[in-house]
């Protein structure tokens, strides 16, 4: 029976059109704008918007000498520190809720609720918790610890928001690791136990190596999420926090595009961020491709 290739294109057509209009076209426009001088505040004498003017690598030279850009880049890279913590914590949590016990489904649901909660609601809630007279300092006061300026001190603002990101994303990665645990053959663990292996040996020599594909996926996703964090910072520490301590790449893009209306410059920052994300993702892929977790075996 002869197959008609046009049938496949008929089904793929609507999706390709949507991707082309709302994904690929904006990407190519953003790349082009990164090499232009374009501001929404510049108008001609007749009141018309001045069109983009080719500026070569001018925007990237501005980045090189822009201290706020370097501050945002460093903060974004520092934010990656949450990745190994959230991976280890979510693996441990997945192992715990994988075992049968009374109320297991309740705990699985409870840990996942923050994932489906609006980031605005989460930001407002934790901003209240971290206030000088908020719940966190109240609990610290019960054990004799003086109040901590969680969101108003440059030393603790970024760490506080990183904690919120960890708390919110824990349930998401727990579900992914839980799905990975379900794919591990029970026979392997039973055989190891019969050979005299204890729970620790089973975990390090069977569970972790078998979770390698899931770890690779979660590592890439969490790195990308850490580099593009925005909502928590926007709600909890407006304008990048005290002394720009929470100014990240995405938040700086927002400030330049929607407050300064410097579209060309913000597009250049976005292009650099895309490059950083690409490099971090490539490092993750190469690490796991070369046997990143085999050392446990």
d(CA 219, CA 86): 9
Beta strands per DSSP E along 159-284: none
SS3 category, 37: strand
The model's pLDDT over 262-285, given as tens digits with 9 standing for 90+, comes to: 999 999 999 999 999 999 999 988
Residues 33-86 pLDDT 10s: 999 998 888 877 777 888 889 998 999 999 999 999 999 999 999 999 999 999
Q: Please, what's the b/e burial string for 265-288 (b: 16 or more CB within 10 A of its CB; e: otherwise)?
A: bbbbbbbbbeeebeebbeebeeeb
Comparing CA positions, the residue from 82, 36, 81 lying closest to residue 62 is 36
Q: How confident is the model at residue 99 (pLDDT cuts 50, 70, 90)?
A: confident
- Give the pair of three-digit tokens for residue 231: 């909502």
Contacts of 295 (CB under 8 A, 6+ apart): none
Is the per-residue pLDDT at 292 higher than 80?
Answer: no
What whole-number distance in Å separates Cα of residue 145 and Cα of residue 205? 42
Coil, helix or strand at residue 95: helix
**CATH architecture of the domain with range 57-296:** Orthogonal Bundle (1.10)
Domain residue extents for the chain: 57-296
> Residue 242 has which token pair?
């005290």
The two structure tokens encoding residue 270: 């976005």
Find which of 59-73, 94-108, 228-242 is predicted with most confidence, using mean pLDDT.
59-73
Higher-confidence residue of 291 and 249: namely 249
Start-to-end C-alpha separation, the chain: 50
Q: What is the pTM of this model?
A: 0.87
Query: What tokens does 37 get?
Result: 């001088």
Say if strands 36-37 and 53-54 run parallel, antiparallel, or are unpaired.
Answer: antiparallel
Q: What is the mean pLDDT of the chain?
A: 88
The answer on pLDDT for 297 being more than 80 is no
Secondary structure (DSSP) of 221-239: HHHHHHHT--HHHHHHSGG
Instruction: Decide: 98 and 156 in contact? Cβ < 8 Å.
Output: no
User: For residues 34 and 270, is the Cβ–Cβ distance under 8 A?
Assistant: yes
Where residue 206 falls among pLDDT bands split at 50, 70, 90?
confident
- Residue 37, strand partner residues: 53
Model confidence over 115-136: pLDDT tens digits? 999 999 999 999 999 998 889 9
2 pLDDT band, cuts 50/70/90, is: low
State how far the Cα of 32 lies from the Cα of 268, in Å rounded to an integer: 9
Please give the Cα distance from 10 to 14 (Å, whole number): 8
Selection from 129, 188, 185 nearest residue 161 by Cα:
129
Looking at per-residue pLDDT, the higher value among 124 and 185 belongs to 124
pLDDT at 296 over 50: no
């Amino acid at each position: 029976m002869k197959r008609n290739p046009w049938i496949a294109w008929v089904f793929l057509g609507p999706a390709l059109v949507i991707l082309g209009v709302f994904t690929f076209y904006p990407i190519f426009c953003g790349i082009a704008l990164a090499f232009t001088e374009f501001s929404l505040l510049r108008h001609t004498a007749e009141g018309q918007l001045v069109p983009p003017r080719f500026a070569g690598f001018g925007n990237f030279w501005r980045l090189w000498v822009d201290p706020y850009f370097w501050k945002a880049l460093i903060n974004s890279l520092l934010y990656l520190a949450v990745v190994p913590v959230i991976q280890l914590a979510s693996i441990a949590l997945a192992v715990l809720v994988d075992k049968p016990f009374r109320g297991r489904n309740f705990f699985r649901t409870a840990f996942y609720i923050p994932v489906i909660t609006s980031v605005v609601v989460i930001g407002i809630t934790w901003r209240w918790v971290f206030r000088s007279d908020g719940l966190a300092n109240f609990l610290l006061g019960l054990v004799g610890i003086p109040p901590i300026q969680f969101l108003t001190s440059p030393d603790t603002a970024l760490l506080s928001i990183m904690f919120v990101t960890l708390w919110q994303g824990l349930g998401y990665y727990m579900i992914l690791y839980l799905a990975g645990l379900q794919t591990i053959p029970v026979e392997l663990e039973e055989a190891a136990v019969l050979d005299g292996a204890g729970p620790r040996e089973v975990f390090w020599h069977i569970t972790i190596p078998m979770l390698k594909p899931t770890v690779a996926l979660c590592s890439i996703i969490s790195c990308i999420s850490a580099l593009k964090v925005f909502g928590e910072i926007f709600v909890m520490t407006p304008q990048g926090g005290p002394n720009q301590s929470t100014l990240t790449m995405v938040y700086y893009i927002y400030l330049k595009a929607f407050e300064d209306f410097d579209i060309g410059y913000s597009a250049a920052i976005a292009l650099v961020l895309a490059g950083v994300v690409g490099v971090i993702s490539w490092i993750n892929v190469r690490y796991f491709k070369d046997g990143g977790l085999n050392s446990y075996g």
